[in-house]
Structure 1
Amino acid sequence: MAEAQPLLEVRNLSVTFDTAQGPVRAVRDVSWSVGRGEVLAILGESGSGKSVSSSAVLDLIDCPPGRIESGQILFEGRDLLGMSRAERRTINGRRIAMIFQDPLSHLNPVYAVGWQIEETMVIHGTSRAEARAETLRLLARVGIPDPAEAAAKYPHQFSGGQRQRLMIAMALALKPDLLIADEPTTALDVTVQAQILALIEELQAETGMGLVIITHDLGVVAEMADRVVVMNRGEIVERGGAAEVYRNPQHPYTQRLIAAAPGQGAMRETRQDASPILSLRHVSKRYGAFTALHGISYDLHEGEVLAIVGESGSGKSTTARLLLRLEEASGGQALYRGQDLLAMSPRDLHALRREIQMVFQDPTQSLNPRMTVYQLISEAWAIHPGIVERARWRARVAELLAEVGLDDGYMSRYPHQISGGQRQRVAIARALALEPRIIVCDEAVSALDVQVQAQVIRLLDRLKASHGLSYIFIAHDLPVVRDFADRVLVMRGGRIVEQGDVRQIFEMPREEYTRNLLAASLDPDPEVQAQRRAARQAMETA
């Protein structure tokens, strides 16, 4: 627990960013601390200031446009803000390290990962030979197979979970006293998330380092945190023990966060009266000698939400890409209203493509950064003329934005000028522009804050009812699936290992793989999560 003198103490920190619309006070008079061996969680949504306050610790705020207006950041009693750049460099990396949210953005794509980890140590005075040996040890320690071979690979050659392990290896290379983990498991599958959190916890126990976890995931707080501070609009609105804050939240914002946590509502009853709108029959996909899909078959019924769950590499996203002909299948049929989508000519497929649309996981990558929101949505009508008269384009875009909870003022904005949740709403509006019958959501809410996630799920549900939509909902967030889906397919290694209605899958899973997936999912209640952890540890030691 915390010592008399904390390892790190942030006192009355205020950070402002200058924008074209005027100054934005991103952090306002914030104070928090963490001791050796302690885990502090900073909880809040995008824009709450949680990442900005931690970036200030490592001097990672771009100045300009950002500036630290006031405050102190005391590391072992010394104010980091009063140090020279040279002094900060002796602490950053060596004494205080950080794991970033998106490892692909923070690993250099043109250097082998082994060299990048070595360089972290070489910069701080370690010999190249010693750094190389330590790199291989670290790669093995964080669970990367065949460290010598892996060290010569590049970031794009690893999975998301493996890239996060590489970031952990790099952060721990110099055995820091303090580790800051900024959304370390966002968008990872539940089993990979559990492995990453267990690894961080194990390494912390070995080294006694202090740990600050920045997150919007209540399950991560429940699993890891001793104490929690809750941030909203740049201010700390609540603080206390993790269980205390969950059980007895005082601030309305904290109460809304906890109420929005998925997996707490009633499960849906499966509809039995609808006919299939889409039928996959023995669909397979091979990449050379590797088989990604082993002849899978399933039906999607009218007005149904069919969830597909499984770990990375299970084939769930491959299914979606084949269905939309973003890749070509190696065999099988995908029958949509009796027509085989996989055998259609490009001309025939173009005519039907408007009826099956997709919302991708990352709207930042799927929305053209050079186009305004108006252009992004109306582009669909230029590609598929006859849906909306050009004279009505602007009015129809405004109607679609209203349907997804945005006003017409967003039409002139570019993707980078709106939040992640708003970008995902624009992506949904773009999909709706073609009046489809089926929407494929590929991890469409996985990286969203809990309240925004709940809003988007409610939006999708409302649109399903008003537009008669059917959804293929690909997800790794099992509590969201529990709340939203009618039926669930569980995939592993390119095969469907189990399928059934949502109640059967969540309450009476037949397969051990499904039970392991459910067991790896985190509960937002710290007491429930502590019981799960104790049960898991008892099984491991049995």
Structure 2
Amino acid sequence: MADHLLEVRNLSVQFHTAGGIVKAVRDISWHLDRGETLAILGESGSGKSVSASAIMNLIDMPPGEITSGQILFEGRDLLALSAGERRLVNGKRIAMIFQDPLGHLNPVYTVGWQLVETMRVHGSRKDEAQRRALELLTRVGIPSPKDAMRKYPHQFSGGQRQRVMIAMALAMKPDIVIADEPTTALDVTVQAEVLALLDELQNETGMGLLLITHDLGVVAEVADRVVVMNAGEIVETGTPAAVYHNPQHPYTRKLIGAAPGRGEIHEPSGDGEPLLRVAGMTKSYGAFQALKHASFDLQPGETMAVVGESGSGKSTLARCLLRLEQADSGQALWKGRDLLSMPPKEMFGLRRQIQMVFQDPTQSLNPRMSVYDLIAEAWMIHPEILPKDKWRERVNELLSQVGLLPEHARRYPHQFSGGQRQRIAIARALALQPELIVCDEAVSALDVSIQAQVIALLDKLRRELKIAFIFIAHDLPVVRDFADHVMVMKAGEIVELGTAREIFENPRQDYTKRLLAAGLDPDPEIQRKRSEERERLSA
């Protein structure tokens, strides 16, 4: 019998690039037992996702190369198996939940077909697979699961697509689930539900869960042990409580120090003439009313955070404001001019004043363009902003501001992690020096230290340049650190609106209280109490 369900021994992985050899994973060792949750914690580029890809045989070789080590599953070295033998393991015995659901769901097939096909490939009968697919969509919280079976990936929100990916990974009741940032795109209540679901399935089946994350709150909620990685190496291991309360390595201390939700709550700067005044904005898709008479004011240099579960209307509100969707009725007065009825030519002139950072950088960044071209494109469209001989210097400045390096300008989007791609999208939005930036989950995929850096950057821009923000987010500690006002949405309606202090310290609506209770805290002791409060509210 093997000592452990899964054991990684002295694994090293490197990549051959035009700039030389990159050592992504350096001689790491760890193990996972049946029924255990092991969290691998680290920032983008730490090697955590590369090591998971090695387990699933997903590293392209070349340019990748596994230079040393063993990956033992029930005592058998996966690296020594044939391609046919690996296919019997991958998906059925070891399954993976990927960070980017849109990049791993086929856009031309319904999600129901894809779920059923996953099971049929591994020998399930069609009727059995259909029944199981419906059960899985129900368990991961997809609304109207029978209708959802007939929908395509683009018809779901980002959080809902991630739930579909989780259902697909769980389809064959695997022995091990590798979850690569599985709750990054999920709102707080669904995140809590999904983590609870994974815990429930562990109790039922005894499966091991390998959780790859940058979220200290997720570690505090579910992990039995944690491995901290930095620059391809393991720098610390231990229980979540031991690592949080008594970190031994400077890198671990830096991660804990960057955790959001500990700073002073912002106080609004005061009244005045609004930069943006929204009144009675509605939007329907057939019989479904996605937005119901939304009304609010936004002052120059202030941040309005928009929180709520997937499907609450947050992104619809943002897309209607930017005329990416046409609102059915209402007004959105920008310095007194109605954005919703403005002629297209006049709207084009305002585009540089109002920018958006989208939730999914895979969709919003053109894969055929280099990072330099993606950022400089703004100045091609609006040449009055910056002379061409200054473009290179400004691109380098913007990349540095969001935590990237000047040499990254030569690369393409697919050569970056999900968090790094989001930083590129933020740099592109800043290129036009806008007066309002609409951030749709703009920092949800970022590591805690880079997240803190980007929030500090956005806060600095707000104070110095009076840039206003509409900040759509599910990460409530980040909202607490950054927002002046908070708008709580449910089923297309604004159910509560107030200052950040009012919402976080004295919420009036039960729905708001449930959202706050569902938030995750990096301190395992605080998180345990919060989980108990969540159970009490749901009882």
Band of TM-score, shorter chain? over 0.9
Q: What is the CA distance between 1:224 and its match in structure 2?
A: 0.4
- d(CA) in 2 for partners of 1:392 and 1:327? 35
Matching residue's letter, 2:461: L
Matching residue's letter, 1:107: L
Structure 1 residues without counterparts, runs of 5 or longer:
none
After the TM superposition, which of the residue ranges 360-369 and 214-223 deviates more from structure 2? Answer: 360-369
Matching residue's letter, 2:19: Q
- d(CA) in 2 for partners of 1:402 and 1:175? 44
Q: What is the CA distance between 1:130 and its match in structure 2?
A: 3.6
Quote the residue 2:260 is aligned against: 262
SS of aligned partner of 2:304: strand
Matching residue's letter, 1:91: V
Provide Cα deviations, 1:422-466, integer angstroms capped at 9, x if missing partner: 544443343333332222222111111111111111111111222
SS of aligned partner of 1:528: helix
Alpha carbons of 1:173 and 1:426: their partners in 2 closer, same or farther (altered >3 Å)?
Answer: closer
Matching residue's letter, 1:304: E
Q: What is the CA distance between 1:128 and its match in structure 2?
A: 3.4
Q: What is the CA distance between 1:118 and its match in structure 2?
A: 3.0
Quote the residue 2:213 is aligned against: 215
Aligned-residue sequence identity (percent) comes to: 68
Q: What is the CA distance between 1:405 and its match in structure 2?
A: 5.7
Q: What is the CA distance between 1:480 and its match in structure 2?
A: 0.5
Alpha carbons of 1:344 and 1:530: their partners in 2 closer, same or farther (altered >3 Å)?
Answer: same
Is the CA contact 1:34–1:212 (under 8 Å) kept in the aligned structure 2? yes
Alpha carbons of 1:49 and 1:489: their partners in 2 closer, same or farther (altered >3 Å)?
Answer: same
Residues 1:184 and 2:182 are matched in the alignment: yes
SS of aligned partner of 1:23: strand
Structure 2 residues without counterparts, runs of 5 or longer:
none
Quote the residue 1:327 is aligned against: 325
Q: How does 1:499-510 map to 2 (within 5 A)?
A: 499-510=497-508
Is the CA contact 2:358–2:441 (under 8 Å) kept in the aligned structure 1? yes
Q: What is the CA distance between 1:183 and its match in structure 2?
A: 1.0
Q: How does 1:89-108 map to 2 (within 5 A)?
A: 89-108=87-106
Q: What is the CA distance between 1:105 and its match in structure 2?
A: 2.2
Quote the residue 1:200 is aligned against: 198
Q: How does 1:362-401 map to 2 (within 5 A)?
A: 362-398=360-396, 400-401=398-399
Matching residue's letter, 1:371: M
Quote the residue 1:442 is aligned against: 440
SS of aligned partner of 1:455: helix
Q: What is the CA distance between 1:174 and its match in structure 2?
A: 2.4
Alpha carbons of 1:232 and 1:467: their partners in 2 closer, same or farther (altered >3 Å)?
Answer: same
Q: Which of the pair has more CA radius of gyration?
A: 1
Is the CA contact 2:2–2:74 (under 8 Å) kept in the aligned structure 1? no
Is the CA contact 1:274–1:303 (under 8 Å) kept in the aligned structure 2? no
Q: What is the CA distance between 1:523 and its match in structure 2?
A: 0.7
Quote the residue 1:470 is aligned against: 468
Q: What is the CA distance between 1:310 and its match in structure 2?
A: 1.4
Aligned residue pairs: how many? 539
Alpha carbons of 1:164 and 1:350: their partners in 2 closer, same or farther (altered >3 Å)?
Answer: closer
- d(CA) in 2 for partners of 1:100 and 1:396? 34
Provide Cα deviations, 1:192-238, integer angstroms capped at 9, x if missing partner: 11111111111111111111111111111010001000011111100
Q: What is the CA distance between 1:12 and its match in structure 2?
A: 0.8
Quote the residue 2:286 is aligned against: 288
Among candidates 477, 492, 495, match of residue 494 of structure 1: 492
Alpha carbons of 1:420 and 1:455: their partners in 2 closer, same or farther (altered >3 Å)?
Answer: farther
Q: How does 1:14-413 map to 2 (within 5 A)?
A: 14-144=12-142, 147-398=145-396, 400-401=398-399, 404=402, 408-413=406-411
Q: What is the CA distance between 1:31 and its match in structure 2?
A: 0.6
SS of aligned partner of 1:276: coil
- d(CA) in 1 for partners of 2:430 and 2:137? 45
Is the CA contact 1:120–1:173 (under 8 Å) kept in the aligned structure 2? yes
Quote the residue 1:8 is aligned against: 6
SS of aligned partner of 1:114: helix
Provide Cα deviations, 1:36-80, integer angstroms capped at 9, x if missing partner: 111111111111111111222222222222121111111122222
- d(CA) in 2 for partners of 1:485 and 1:174? 43
Q: What is the CA distance between 1:267 and its match in structure 2?
A: 0.9
Provide Cα deviations, 1:390-447, integer angstroms capped at 9, x if missing partner: 4544455455556556565454444344555554444334333333222222211111
- d(CA) in 1 for partners of 2:102 and 2:423? 24
SS of aligned partner of 2:275: strand
Aligned-pair Cα RMSD in Å: 2.4
